[in-house]
Amino acid sequence: MRIFLAKRVFTLVLTLLVATLVVFVVLEILPGDPAAVMLGINAETDTLNALREELGLNRPVWVRYTHWVGDLITGNLGISYTYDVPVSELILDRITVSFPLALLAMTLSTLIAIPLGVMAASNHNKPMDFLVMSFSQIGIAIPNFWFAMLLTLLFSVTLRLLPAGGFAGWDAGIVPVLKSFLLPTIALALPQAAILARVTRSALLEVLQEDFIRTARAKGVTNQGILWKHALRNALIPVVTIMGLQFSFLLAGTIIIENVFYLPGIGRLIFQAISQRDLIVVKNLVILLSAAVIMINFMVDLLYAFIDPRLKGGGDV
Amino acid sequence: MFRTLAEVFRHGLKNRSFVIGGTISLLFFLIAFLSYFWTPYPVEDINIAEKLLKPSAKYLLGTDHFGRDILSMLIQGARNSVIVAFVAIGIGIGCGVPLGLMAAAKKGWLDELIMRFNDLTFAFPSLISAIMITAILGPGSVNSIIAIGIFNVPVFARVARGAALSIWKREFILAARSAGKGLFKISIEHILPNIASMLIVQATIQFALGILAEAGLSYLGLGTQPPMPSWGKMLNEAQTFMHFAPQLAIYPGVAIALTVMGLNLFGDGLRDVLDPKLRRRR
């Protein structure tokens, strides 16, 4: 187990490093002159030179890269060009909106999807299965931002029960916060749940065909016992894989949904930064979001070993 | 266990998902194709005097805030969705499946290298890639294709590798190996057909996701740019007028949902037809 862990941690660090390299190359090297990108084509030479000096663009590339990585490790993300405040401050402020939203959506989606998937698989080819699969088909097909618009149309425009957007702020108390989170969470969670329910169902159906399930049946284990104790654990590998995959969709979803509901989270910040050509903010946000996905994948890898000890050796049995 | 196309089609006609999904998908592709020759009105025609009209005999689905015909824009939007999703899926399958098969067959350091490369690509969801590309190049539909395509690669590689790994453990593979078949030959002749149904399901999900992602990017203004209509962009514009023209927020969404559902149903049906094991279970 220790070797398995050491190997995974090593590759995690390596992946994170290469990711910083990719972001650095795409956002600092490919544009040629980041200062020109930030100031636009009509910028004066003096202003350009001043910004180049300020951003340290006159230093050799590898010095800029190592400095940036060093700063990332120490949490010094530089000063936003447009807001003139530390980028880390901006991010810390916005993450109090994005993180709870993503967490709520992931929880809600799992709570809906796993029971639905189990129900569908245990009632294979019966009306319940058909119902769950129909929900799944519709859920997968609906774009989350359109679903969000429909929810707003119903609950905000027509019934006037919930706000159409905006964020009351954590100081306003938990009720207004939950009210502003409710529609975005549902809009994010339901399409995810639709996919996850489908995967859970098909993984379970696959496992239920296996010999060991027949053996368990022959030994007199009840249907429920087989389903929850024997089948579900073995079906969890594809389910956890998809949940890991879904995290990045959730991340993307959060960025879109924040824009639909005008929530002041990371997603809004990144879009404001793009329209203001604030490459410093864009660069640091992109690497942080990518690092989040890498970390989640790392945790999924560890989870595999926990769910299926046979995989500890790296997949060879 | 490959069948001829005619055989697949003959079996497919007995499958409800295949027929319904296939019909919707075919219709979608025909509409996209039609847009090259005909739309009820030219989509660039701005007619402010006839803005935000309700559906009528003249404008079957009404007009938008510039007085443009909604039906024409929907037809043109279909073409845009097909192109982006198709190319992106091609990139995903073309690069991802060989990588996944290779990783499962060779194992060891090559597997490790491919999977870590995947993790890395995977760390840049299409939206993040699109954000990076937009930040330096500005928005455009090529962005969407590249961004969605790149993101498809690790998805297919992972699915192919995961499914292939479990097949490699089966007895008939052991038999093939002891018969002297090489890794490459086994991957193509035994592994690929056995994971094909999984790849098809994944391809339908990815195609659907490609259309959804394109709509999302266009909705955010990162994808297709005006005057080329796209379903996502239409939804974005509709949001401003939701209070007094809610119908504008309905049509493009229905178009996306229906298309994606059609493609998914078709994929499901196709899987049932292609996978004899699954058919026996029914």
Q: Residue A310's pLDDT is what?
A: 67
Residues on chain B touching A255 (C-beta within 8 angstroms): 127, 220
**Interface predicted TM-score (ipTM) of this complex, two decimals:** 0.80
Ramachandran assignment for B261, one of left (phi > 0), alpha (psi -120 to 50 degrees), beta (any other)? alpha
Is there a domain that residue B49 lies in?
Answer: no
Mutate to test the interface with A, among B17, B126, B128 (most CBs of A within 10 A): B128
Tokens of B40: 């009820």
User: Does the pLDDT at position B282 exceed 70?
Assistant: no
A146 to chain B: closest CA residue: B253
Mutate to test the interface with A, among B109, B110, B111, B124 (most CBs of A within 10 A): B124
Residue B35's Cβ-side half-sphere holds a number of Cα atoms within 13 Å equal to: 22
Q: What is the mean pLDDT of residues B66-87?
A: 90
Q: Residue B4's pLDDT is what?
A: 67
Phi, psi (deg, nearest 5) at residue B63: -130, 165
A274 to chain B: closest CA residue: B135
Share of chain A above pLDDT 90, in %: 27
* Burial class of residue B70 (count of CB atoms within 10 Å of its CB; 0-12, 13-18, 19+): buried
Share of chain B above pLDDT 90, in %: 23
Residue span of the structural domain in which B229 resides: 5-32+65-281
Tell me the pLDDT tens digit for each residue of A13-69: 988 999 999 899 988 877 777 787 777 777 788 888 888 887 778 888 899 899 999
Tell me the pLDDT tens digit for each residue of A286-305: 999 889 888 888 888 788 77
Strand, helix or coil at B51? coil
Q: Which of B134, B215, B261 sits opposite A138 (nearest CB)?
A: B261
Q: What is the mean pLDDT of residues A133-160?
A: 90
Tell me the pLDDT tens digit for each residue of A209-266: 888 888 888 888 888 888 888 888 888 877 887 787 777 778 878 888 998 999 999 9
Q: What is the mean pLDDT of residues A123-148?
A: 90
Residue B14's CATH number: 1.10.3720.10
Catalogue the long-range contacts made by A161-169 (C-beta closer than 8 Å, 24 or more residues apart): A164/A261, A165/A260, A165/A261, A165/A262, A165/A263, A166/A261, A166/A262, A166/A263, A167/A97, A167/A262, A167/A263, A167/A264
Q: What is the mean pLDDT of residues B70-85?
A: 91
**To which H or E segment does residue A56 belong?**
none
Q: Which of A202, A274, A315 sits opposite B135 (nearest CB)?
A: A274
Catalogue the long-range contacts made by A77-85 (C-beta closer than 8 Å, 24 or more residues apart): A77/A280, A77/A284, A78/A280, A78/A284, A79/A280, A80/A273, A80/A278, A80/A280, A80/A281, A81/A38, A81/A276, A81/A278, A81/A279, A81/A280, A81/A281, A82/A272, A82/A273, A82/A276, A82/A278, A82/A281, A83/A278, A83/A281
Are residues A316 and B256, on separate chains, in Cβ contact within 8 Å?
no
Is there a domain that residue B105 lies in?
Answer: yes
Going B216 to B90 to B125 to B160, the CA torsion angle's sign is: positive
User: What's this model's pTM, rounded to 2 decimal places?
Assistant: 0.82
Q: Residue B91's pLDDT is what?
A: 92
Is there a domain that residue B44 lies in?
Answer: no
User: Does the pLDDT at position A144 exceed 70?
Assistant: yes
Tokens of A73: 């490790």
- Say how many domains are in chain B: 1
Is there a domain that residue B216 lies in?
Answer: yes
Nearest to B224 by CA among B120, B118, B161, B148: B148
Is there a domain that residue B40 lies in?
Answer: no
Tell me the pLDDT tens digit for each residue of B145-189: 888 898 889 889 988 998 899 888 888 888 988 888 888 888 888
Residue of B127 and B70 predicted with greater confidence: B70
Is there a domain that residue B75 lies in?
Answer: yes
Q: Which of A143, A238, A271 sits opposite B216 (nearest CB)?
A: A143
In degrees, rounded to 5, the angle at the alpha carbon of residue A127 between the alpha carbons of residues A123 and A132 is 75
Ordered by where they begin, the domains of chain A are: 87-312 (1.10.3720.10)
In the predicted model, what is the mean pLDDT of chain A?
86
Q: What is the mean pLDDT of residues B36-63?
A: 84
Is there a domain that residue B18 lies in?
Answer: yes
Q: B279 falls in which pLDDT band (50, 70, 90)? A: very low
Is there a domain that residue B46 lies in?
Answer: no
